[in-house]
Structure 1
């Protein structure tokens, strides 16, 4: 069993205060590089439809990114546990940068899609960053650092949306990808200079061929979900893909449970807190995480529909950045709650906020003056809950499995984010208003979406309440300064 393997890193000299600041800066830059991956692609979608007219494959730039993200997050996290988080992070950043170059120089839509597929490896940055934080920081500082990483991802997504839009509008669509390349290059330099080398675990031989069998099966499921709108829910191809993939995943799970050192340690998912934390992430992904899709559309939808506010893309981008910036307060606060008490309490608080705020939008969305504060509170609750879920996973797993556990969490996020996007799209299509050939969701469609997200958050609240009050059964009593994890969670 992997849990019986020697610790990933031996005792190391704690970082000084000055080196700790530089270390955190490098990790936060990694979070920015990770968030730029899909944000840049979203920003230029309309432009790509003009650059490649008549192509039905432009949408695959997004689809292939999410397919790759679901796979690479788990694989990169596991490789980080084995080979060292810093080493694997640098490799990931290089591949993502090369993908940006390929996309920027793409002569055809096929090459562009290949470049976007390479960039999807950036999803592995998150679990690797979590592993670095746990490897290099004192236990009491880990939850707050996780909050900073989460905040950096959300806030930078809004900022990159604006920057990429300016570059695409005033220079060229390729400029968006070059912006991503520049971010990766700066992050590589920061990681090399400011992040201590990770120790490599030795002696573990892994069957990568059979261990990677989950990848095509997971891709097939996500592809089926993406094709629901095009093929229809009753299409036998949808259910054929899902059924065959589930059979492959079942066989793969049996194999991974039997081998001594699996590529993906399925035993991690057997812990009660890990199961419930992944269930919380599922509830967040299918609901509140659709915030960008819903709010961006609502802000730009014409006012004559009596549902939207008629803002330009630039105006909506600045407002979305304003909505997201509250994560700078919410995520670190969630981390401090997890440090002082436990991640369960932070999860309960975050889910409660999501239920209240999304329910309130049923009334507040009629006025811009009321909607913006309500949307900011929704973003606040999302950042709070999202950070709490990652801390739940870190709280319940051994230090040497941090990358793998958080990578699996990202897999759950990617899968259910795709499901939630389809659910929201279907609800928005429920009732529409039209004029001059243009059709937009009606006000009642948005109300249905707000109710759906509030309902998913309510399920998440119930799941969070079922979490064990003392998440890590091996943890010792808390230190007197209100610090974080101890026992097997500490690496020093």
Structure 2
């Protein structure tokens, strides 16, 4: 468990460490919020594809083996950002680091593989909520590095952490017991997905400069939608899709994924940047708290640690009362925090309470997510489904970053690079709308869900009308096969 939590900390740390760094990068490279946001967005875009691809590879070739490779590549990405020296190279390195998005799905699969039934809810809850530990460490270490040294030290630390995690996985986790799969990986699907999302997000992030009626905006959004349509068509036809879209026929899975997307666009992905601005902006503005980068890091660390202490409790409550109740509670807490912040700008005590509650909400939500999914999927598809959920969350967070950056850039002073209070308020209102929607969707989930049963090869042949052709396998359900044959004739 300690090793799996360490691996997930690497993945989440590489995301969280950049939020504290954004104001510094804006000053050092003299860019606007839209441009520097790609330091976060590049990571999330690759992470979205890596989440599903890594989970699929893990189920096919062995989760332990795939996780070690992923962590080594993430370490290389940190070195690229460290040695590049320009914002463009930082973004490139961040994109390479994005392969760490595969870690969470692989960790859930390994936990379900090696823990007994009673240990699984608490185990996966602690792994899921370990993002808070990473958030705490990322904020603290990034703040210290910026004040004492520079942002370069953040990437050096991330590289060392990734290698330590890879070595730990290699020596502690039992060897994989799966043979090499004969299924062909869906390389085309894994390429089309980030292309579609990148085009849409690039269009959104550049709209503050070009306008919504510009040729660039319409072209990028149109291309993104067109590629997304091709991707959906391909995923429904390919034999081993990168995302098994047919799992969304299951009510519970569809609702969990939708609630995850809404929460990622809202509080999970939309709170970090404006809250860092509130903490690091001067108190003379009326809404800033005047924290240094280190103080902001210590504060974020403390509130996140408070939240993480609730992760074992969330797992036990999920085992006793069901993961659905814990999931709804976590989402509701994150939603209630937003109006509390909006109504008390400049009040340090209330802000501390609000961010502490937000940390608890994130911990319960992250801890409940894998348990909600485990209730609805078979053990053989744990990493695949968890990876898909990671993809959904990362796409949502990418969207939140792009739209949030657009809103903030609209209220940014070109001379001082500071964002006005109206911009901060508008961003939080946007976050609250999606937080409320995520709670509404979660309430529609069932307490006792029906488990998703993946389609077999024989059933796929029946559906496609290819049963009986040379090379096809004998059907598992002969009555269904006979019925299909009668229908076809």
- Check whether TM > 0.5: yes
- The separation in 2 between residues aligned to 1:255 and 1:436, in whole angstroms, is 48
The residue that corresponds to 2:114 in the other structure is 136
Contact 2:314 2:326 in 1 (8 A): yes
Contiguous gaps of at least 5 residues in structure 1: 1-23, 476-492
How far the C-alpha of 1:474 sits from its partner, in A, is 7.3
C-alpha distance after superposition, 1:294-349 (max 9, x if no partner): 22111222222221222222212111112211221233322222211211111222
Contact 1:141 1:339 in 2 (8 A): no
**Aligned equivalent of 1:39, options 13, 16, 27:** 16
How far the C-alpha of 1:148 sits from its partner, in A, is 1.0
- The separation in 2 between residues aligned to 1:141 and 1:295, in whole angstroms, is 35
Q: Does 1:239 align with 2:203?
A: no
The residue that corresponds to 2:239 in the other structure is 260
Contact 1:86 1:197 in 2 (8 A): yes
How far the C-alpha of 1:435 sits from its partner, in A, is 12
Q: Does 1:360 align with 2:337?
A: no
C-alpha distance after superposition, 1:459-481 (max 9, x if no partner): 11211111122124479xxxxxx
Contact 1:61 1:116 in 2 (8 A): yes
The residue that corresponds to 1:305 in the other structure is 285
**Aligned equivalent of 1:348, options 324, 328, 332:** 328
How far the C-alpha of 1:428 sits from its partner, in A, is 4.8
Contiguous gaps of at least 5 residues in structure 2: 454-489
Contact 1:300 1:316 in 2 (8 A): yes
Q: Which moved more, 1:349-358 or 1:447-456?
A: 447-456
- The separation in 1 between residues aligned to 2:115 and 2:338, in whole angstroms, is 36
TM-score, normalised by the number of residues in structure 2: 0.83
CA separation of 1:230/1:142 partners in 2, compared to 1, >3 Å: closer, same or farther? farther
Contact 2:378 2:452 in 1 (8 A): no
The residue that corresponds to 1:295 in the other structure is 275
- The total of aligned residue pairs comes to 450
- The separation in 2 between residues aligned to 1:242 and 1:450, in whole angstroms, is 25
- The separation in 2 between residues aligned to 1:47 and 1:114, in whole angstroms, is 18
* SS state at 1:234 partner: coil
CA separation of 1:284/1:330 partners in 2, compared to 1, >3 Å: closer, same or farther? farther
- The separation in 1 between residues aligned to 2:308 and 2:185, in whole angstroms, is 42
Structure-to-structure mapping, 1:264-413, within 5 angstroms? 264-289=243-268, 290-413=270-393
Q: Does 1:211 align with 2:189?
A: yes
TM-score, normalised by the number of residues in structure 1: 0.83
CA separation of 1:108/1:380 partners in 2, compared to 1, >3 Å: closer, same or farther? closer
The residue that corresponds to 1:187 in the other structure is 165
The residue that corresponds to 2:2 in the other structure is 25
C-alpha distance after superposition, 1:25-79 (max 9, x if no partner): 1001101211221234444445556766789976543332222122211111111
- The separation in 1 between residues aligned to 2:298 and 2:70, in whole angstroms, is 30
Q: How well do the aligned residues superpose, as a CA RMSD in angstroms?
A: 2.9
C-alpha distance after superposition, 1:367-421 (max 9, x if no partner): 2122211221122112212322332222211212112211111222122222223
Contact 2:81 2:90 in 1 (8 A): yes
Q: Does 1:220 align with 2:233?
A: no
* SS state at 1:260 partner: coil
* SS state at 2:419 partner: strand
How far the C-alpha of 1:249 sits from its partner, in A, is 2.5
The residue that corresponds to 2:72 in the other structure is 94
CA separation of 1:460/1:43 partners in 2, compared to 1, >3 Å: closer, same or farther? closer
- The separation in 2 between residues aligned to 1:91 and 1:471, in whole angstroms, is 35
